[in-house]
Structure 1
Amino acid sequence: MYSIKACKDSKIDDLILYRDLKFEDTIRMFCALDKNSNNVSKTISKMIEVAGEYGLHGNLWANILALALAYNENVYSKATEIVGETSGSINTFAIHDFKILRELIHFVPNINGDLLKEIYHYEGNGRDSKLVNTRVRDRILRLSKQLTEANSDNEFKDIITEFYKEYGVGKFGLNKAFRIEEGTDLKTANIIPITRVEHVYLNDIIGYDIQKKKLTYNTESFINGKPANNCLLYGDAGTGKSSSVKAIVNEYYDKGLRIIEIYKHQFRYLSDILEQLKDRNYKFIIYMDDLSFEESELEYKYLKAILEGGFGRRPENVLIYATSNRRHLIRESFRDKTETDEELHTRDTVEEKLSLSARFGEKIYYGSPDKREFNSIVLALAKKHNIDMDESEILAKANMWELSHGGMSGRSATQFITYLQSQ
Structure 2
Amino acid sequence: MDNNKNVTKWYSLAGVWFGGIVSVPALLVGSTLINSLSFGNSLLAGLIGFSFVVLFMSLLSIAAVVQRKPTVKLAASSFGEDGAKVIVGLVIGLSTLGWFGIQSNIAGASFSKILFEVYHIDLPIWLSSIFWGIIMVITAVFGFKYLKWLNYIAVPAIIILLIYGLIITFQNHDWNEIIAFKPTQNMSLLQAIGFTIGFISVGGVISPDYNRFAASKKDAVLGSIVGIVPSAMCLLAIGAILAITQGTYDIVEIFSSLGFPFFAMSILILATWTSNVMNMYSSGLAFNNLLKLPDTSRSKTTLFVGLVGILLASLGILSHFMSFISILTITITPIAGVVISDYYITKSYSEKTLPINWKGIISWGIGVLIMLLMDSQIKNILGIAASMTFYYLLQKFLKI
Quick check: TM above 0.5?
no
Computing the radius of gyration over CA atoms, which structure comes out larger, 1 or 2?
A: 1
For normalisation by structure 1, the TM-score amounts to 0.21
Q: TM-score, normalised by structure 2?
A: 0.22
